[in-house]
Amino acid sequence: MSETKEKIWKALAPFAVLLVILLIPAPEGMPPQAWRYFAIFVAMVVGMILEPIPATAISFIAMSTCVLGANWVLFGAQELADPGFKASKEALKWGLAGFSSTTVWLVFGAFIFALGYEATGLGRRIALFLVKFMGKRTLTLGYAVVIIDILLAPFTPSNTARTGGTVFPVVKNLPALFDSYPNDPSSRRIGGYLMWMMVVGTSISSSMFITGSAPNVLGIEFVNKIAGVQISWMQWFLAFLPVGLLLLVIAPLLSYYLYKPTITHSNEVASWAENALQQMGKLSRQEYMLIGLVLFSLSLWVFAGQWVNATAVCLLAVSLMLMLRVVNWSEITKYSSAWNTLVNLATLVVMASGLSRSGFIDWFASMMSTHLDGFSPKMTVLLLVLVFYYAHYLFASLSAHTATMLPVILAIGKGLPGVPMEHLSILLVLSIGIMGVLTPYATGPGVIIYGCGYVKSKDYWRLGGILGAIYISALLLIGWPILSLWY
């Protein structure tokens, strides 16, 4: 298939899906507007997966279409028959609601922190510092790569920006010091292991913090709107901490034996990092300011959560960054990743809420409850979490997976009597980051790392399958019992 034909096919596929679903009669008992809304939602997801145009543009178009056609896809006949019901006003209010979400703005603020790490050079300095002190042995160097990612994760909500933009540029310089090159047998000397450590690191760090990955915030928004469960920054962190610490210890070690490099120790990497640090010079004023703001924000998130909203803390920190000239406004306006994510999350949050607003979620939950009625509540939670987790083999984006599958899984659980929605909700959102280890296309950093040519396809799939099973097992066998003590 030529490139032009492929582009045409990708552009037409969402419309074809929309038309096919609309031609199928609505299932029995489903409100007509819910079926039409579902058709637009599925078409949006198909478009986001194929990306004939950027995914954010697709979600924005889908939201705008639903606002304009609200009488057809959002509101039922009973609402429209009410003389006091202003359909156009309510539709616009619904469409813009995502931009008032505190969690969406929390991610935006964290993106500005990431900009600070990049602009001041603090992110690169942290990476080089750890490599300097842990780089003499390949195993400890692997741990350093993972720890770097985790240290940056609380304030870098894009794992692509964090791992691909900060960690990868440092790590990619290391294999050549040992004559280890991509797409070559020498890749197994050390390059393959170090590249795989970035996959390990980004998958753990993405689940460690709400702000470790943008889909996490999308997930807790769905959980709040559909299941009525609220998850704070601290609750998330404490819920995953035991699992995260265990994975931090065993995942690099297990990978070391499953994908062992032929070079196990050397002083060259540590010397290179030391020289690079010397070239950077002393900490700048902007770096000191950023460190202070990071510690200030983290302290308020941890100790003042009852009095100060996490988003307010983040916006205050951004304001201080501007006042202290850690970053300037022109840099923020040019930081397209932050604005792109702001619009993308806001529209996806709205589109997911539309599944409930149109009546689709209630119908689907009722329908599925009859099929899972014979299972115990715990077995239901187990099955739903595993279905959600392993369905990621079908997706090339954590955001698309979360937007597509999470509302559906939550709806099924909500429709079943006795299912502990707090447990189900937290387990589902905590699994979003760790599923990024499963495939070469599972998440943005994975695509970058796989594309550099150090890890062969068969090795990536093998390691991803093994560690993916260990990750979800740790969450269910360790994280779940701990949640049971809290709820």
Q: Decide which of 210 and 134 is more confident.
A: 210
Would you say residue 85 has pLDDT above 80?
A: yes
What is the average pLDDT across 196-218?
91
Contacts of 192 (CB under 8 A, 6+ apart): 180, 259, 261, 454, 455, 456, 459
With beta carbons less than 8 A apart as the criterion, state whether 213 and 159 touch: yes
3-state secondary structure of 101: coil
Tokens at 302, concatenated = 């941890």
pLDDT of residue 59: 86
CA distance 231 to 224: 8
Confidence at 433, pLDDT banded by 50, 70, 90: very high
Average of per-residue pLDDT across 322-345: 85
- E strands present in 267-392: none
pLDDT digits (tens, 9 = 90+) for 112-124: 877 887 788 887 7
Q: Which of 87, 72, 86, 67 minimizes the C-alpha distance to 32?
A: 72
Nearest to 108 by CA among 251, 374, 315: 315
pLDDT-based confidence at 24, cuts 50/70/90?
Answer: very high
Rounded-to-integer distance, Cα 319 and Cα 289, Å: 13
Determine the pLDDT at residue 66: 92
pLDDT for the residue 463:
94
Any idea which residue has 């009095």 for tokens?
307
Give the whole-angstrom CA distance, residue 138 versus residue 190: 8
Residue 1 pLDDT greater than 60, yes or no: no
**Res 165: pLDDT:** 64
Query: Measuring CA to CA, which residue among 224, 239, 237 is closest to residue 427?
Result: 239
In terms of Cβ atoms closer than 10 Å to its own Cβ (0-12, 13-18, 19+), residue 302 is: exposed
- Global confidence as pTM: 0.69
Any idea where the domains of the chain sit in the sequence?
1-77, 102-337
| Long-range own/partner contacts, residues 84-89 (CB < 8 A, 24 or more apart) | none
Over residues 146-204, the pLDDT tens digits come to: 998 898 888 776 777 678 766 776 777 778 777 788 888 888 888 899 899 999 999 99
From CA 282, how far away is CA 271, in angstroms rounded?
A: 18
The 8-class DSSP code of residue 209 comes to S
